[in-house]
């Protein structure tokens, strides 16, 4: 099982704000940057957030990331139907000498 | 236009080997670290391995260490994954992904569409 824990699901109505948590430890989130990926149904993952809170070009500013200690969060404001997807956090882990993904959160737009 | 195209997937019997390739285009392949990530049917993402831009650094997930080998040919803009002693737990879609930096890792900023590997007798 993953060393980064996310809630299995989150939901909201259009226009609402949804927050997804990612809990880790001192060997991963506590000492390395956090990244977020979006996976729409049936497609490859997409780069969403890097270096904790930076957005690649083309990613709407409705998506924002933050980190505090050994936890991180992804917030989606102004929720839209096209945001319905699986979201994964990730970070390098010193103990494993590898990259680790979170357990994933399915976001549903009601 | 940046493109990553995986190939080599298919059905293989337990204990056998399979080799995957990832052809890159639209960017300077030799300047970036490259990863393999897999996703079992209906499951989450699992990082598999990474190689630095010059091939000097490699890391593997514990689940594949000693069985899988990552390599690259910068002259051919191609990434490889040699998979030996395959088990049913290796059944997954395998994605090739580009790192944002030369060394692991600045994040996986571009992904291929994946190739399905099914291990079954």
pLDDT of residue A1: 66
Among A59, A98, A103, A106, the strongest candidate for a mutation testing the B interface, having the largest count of B CBs within 10 A, is A98
DSSP for chain B reads --EEEEE--EEE-TT--EEEEEEEESS-GGGS-EEEEEE-TTS-EEEEEEE-TTS--EEE-TTTTTTEEEEEETTTTEEEEEE-S--GGG-EEEEEEEESSSSS-S-EEEE---EEEEE--
What's the mean pLDDT when you consider all of chain B?
Answer: 97
| Chain A residues close to B62, C-beta within 8 Å | 96, 98
Find the mean pLDDT for residues B22-45.
Answer: 98
Q: With an 8 Å Cβ cutoff, are B44 and A50 in contact? A: no
Closest CB to A98 among B47, B95, B107: B47
Give the integer Cα–Cα distance in Å for B88 and B55.
29
Token pair 């880790």 in the structure block, residue: A24
Cβ neighbourhood burial of A79 (10 Å; 0-12, 13-18, 19+): buried
Q: With an 8 Å Cβ cutoff, are B108 and A45 in contact? A: yes
A69, pLDDT greater than 70: yes
Cα→Cα distances B59→A27, A97, B51, B75, Å: 16, 7, 7, 22
Longest pairwise C-alpha distance within chain B? 40
Does A103 touch chain B if contact means CB atoms closer than 8 Å?
A: yes
CA distance B97 to chain A (A): 10
pLDDT of residue B17: 98
Closest CB to B109 among A39, A44, A56: A56
* pLDDT-derived band at A36, boundaries 50, 70, 90: very high
B110, pLDDT greater than 70: yes
Cβ neighbourhood burial of B21 (10 Å; 0-12, 13-18, 19+): middle
């Amino acid at each position: 099982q993953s060393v980064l824990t996310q809630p299995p699901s989150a939901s909201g109505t259009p226009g609402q704000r949804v927050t997804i948590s990612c809990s880790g430890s001192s060997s991963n989130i506590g000492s390395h940057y956090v990244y977020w990926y979006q996976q729409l149904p049936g497609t490859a993952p997409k780069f969403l957030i890097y270096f904790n809170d930076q957005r690649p070009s083309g990613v709407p500013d409705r998506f924002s990331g933050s980190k505090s200690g050994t936890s991180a969060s992804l917030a989606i404001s102004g929720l839209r139907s096209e945001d319905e997807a699986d979201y994964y956090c990730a970070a390098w882990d010193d103990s494993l000498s590898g990259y680790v993904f979170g357990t994933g959160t399915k976001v549903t737009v009601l | 236009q940046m493109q990553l195209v995986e190939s080599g997937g298919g059905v293989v019997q337990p204990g056998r080997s399979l080799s995957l390739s990832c052809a890159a285009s639209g960017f300077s392949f030799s300047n970036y670290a490259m990863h393999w990530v897999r996703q079992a049917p209906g499951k989450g993402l699992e990082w598999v391995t990474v190689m630095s831009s010059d091939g000097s650094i490699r890391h593997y997930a514990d689940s594949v260490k000693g069985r899988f080998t990552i390599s690259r040919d910068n002259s051919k803009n191609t990434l490889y994954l040699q998979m030996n002693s395959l088990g049913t737990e290796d059944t997954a879609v395998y994605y090739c992904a580009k790192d944002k930096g030369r060394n692991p890792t600045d994040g996986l900023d571009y992904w291929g569409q994946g190739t399905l590997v099914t291990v079954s007798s």
